[in-house]
Amino acid sequence: MSRDAETMDAEKSGTPKPTADHQQKTRIIYVVYIIAALDITWMFLQFSVTPYLAKKLGFDTLWFGYLQTTVGVIQLIGGPMFGRFGDLFGARAALSLACASTSVFFVLLASATHPILLFIHKLPTVFMHVLPACQMVVTDLSEPEKRADALSKLGLCFGIGMIAGSTLGGNLNTRYGETVTALVGAAGSAFSLLLVINFIPKSTKAETSGSNTKIENQNKKVFSVGEITRLMKFPGVMRIFLIKIIAGLPSGIFQVMFSIIALEFFKLEPEQNGYLMAYFGIVQMVVQGGVIGRLTARYPEKSLLLMSIGVSAGVGLAQAYMQTVLQLCITVTPMIFSLSVFNIITDSMLTKSVPSSDTGTMLGLCASVQSLVRTIGPTIGGFLYVNYGLFSIGLIKFSVNTAVFVFLLCLGNLKQKE
């Protein structure tokens, strides 16, 4: 059958034939999903190294919290600049920088034989923004009405990487030690860099932005605070950002403290911790791959945001009273569900609130919100855990999310009356 005949049949059936441009975009997105899954694999492999290496080097809970805070501060500084870098120099340059930095990060981790070196190896995290860079590409290449679903597929990659990285890291660390495990992460990150160089185009921005916008962007500086904060003035952006910070902080505290909680509260060995994280990854895959896409297609984003915060409040109450690994596993499904919906919906709402030429910078700011949580979260979490136990972390999560839920509910009712 000729190409013209195929096109006529497609038009008669009412199904538009995919264009070459659409097929190329789809292929690029699939490659990006692979890169994201690999990056998450290396990240969770690192989680199987750092807490145990820190313990060997004499770190206690508070000092481990300071180490995590250091990462948060560095990425808080680098996030907005990295997003701006992606908008100005293209997806390939941004992803290449992120993957190369990750490889250096693991080489330094393998060389860390002193507490100071463990802090120094965190310096490359200023450019380690592979997942935000992948979000930039997916945002650029997906339609606005399908953006939340496309971003949720990155969460599916997160689940795959969590399973692979946790299992691989736990087994490697148990059998060969921290140094070999870190070197495997360095080699894996170098492979991700090769994928970026060979398959990701220089820029994924739509050509419809015009030559004037391109020239204007070339004249803008990467390290311009004014250009970054300008986005905060768009309607609704500041409110969503505050919600992202306030409601996300308690969950962030639990996440950054989980490795210590698993080590001290649940008394897990590296291999056991790896299997537990693999279980988390399976739940993540089910939620991201089979649930979120359908929800975003049926319900408005504001309703899903409200629901995710309400579920998170209930999870916090359950976590305040859990005592066993089984109880932890029971709370995992609603916890991952609420976190996934919350992060995807807020990112989608924020990128839709700004011009397409600034989506990379906006996603960089979203990454900085997570970095801010990781900056202050370990210090707060370490203080709460040492002085008041796991109960306090869960109770604060319940209280804060309940307050935000009530606020949004009241705000929605006021708008309906107006």
Helix 61-89 vs helix 210-218: crossing angle, to nearest 10? 130
Closest CA to 283 of 256, 315, 306, 305: 315
Closest CA to 186 of 39, 67, 51: 39
Q: What is the CATH number of the domain that holds 105?
A: 1.20.1250.20
pTM: 0.71
Q: Any idea of the CA torsion for 80, 61, 389, 252, to the nearest 10 degrees?
A: 10
Closest CA to 401 of 361, 341, 360: 341
Q: What mean pLDDT is predicted for residues 399-411?
A: 90
User: Per residue in 352-400, pLDDT tens?
Assistant: 888 877 777 888 888 777 777 777 777 788 788 888 888 888 999 999 9
Residue 217, in any domain of the structure: no
Contact status, residue 55 vs residue 173, Cβ threshold 8 Å: no
Residue 174, in any domain of the structure: yes
User: Per residue in 290-337, pLDDT tens?
Assistant: 787 788 878 888 899 999 999 999 999 998 888 888 888 888 889 988
What residues make up the domain containing 179?
A: 21-205+224-417
Cα of first residue to Cα of last residue in the chain, in angstroms, is 59
Residue 411, in any domain of the structure: yes
Residue 4, in any domain of the structure: no
Residue 11, in any domain of the structure: no
Burial of 236 (0-12, 13-18, 19+ CB in 10 A): exposed
User: Per residue in 1-10, pLDDT tens?
Assistant: 444 444 444 4
Domain count, the chain: 1
Residue 285, in any domain of the structure: yes
Q: What mean pLDDT is predicted for residues 46-57?
A: 84
Residue 218, in any domain of the structure: no
Residue 373, in any domain of the structure: yes
Contact status, residue 345 vs residue 247, Cβ threshold 8 Å: no
Q: How far is CA 159 from CA 40, 78, 187, 243, 288, in A?
A: 8, 25, 21, 25, 8
Contacts with 137 (C-beta within 8 Å, 6 or more apart), sequence order: 28, 29, 32, 91, 95, 200, 204
pLDDT band, very low/low/confident/very high, at 20 (cuts 50, 70, 90)? low
User: Per residue in 86-99, pLDDT tens?
Assistant: 888 888 888 999 99
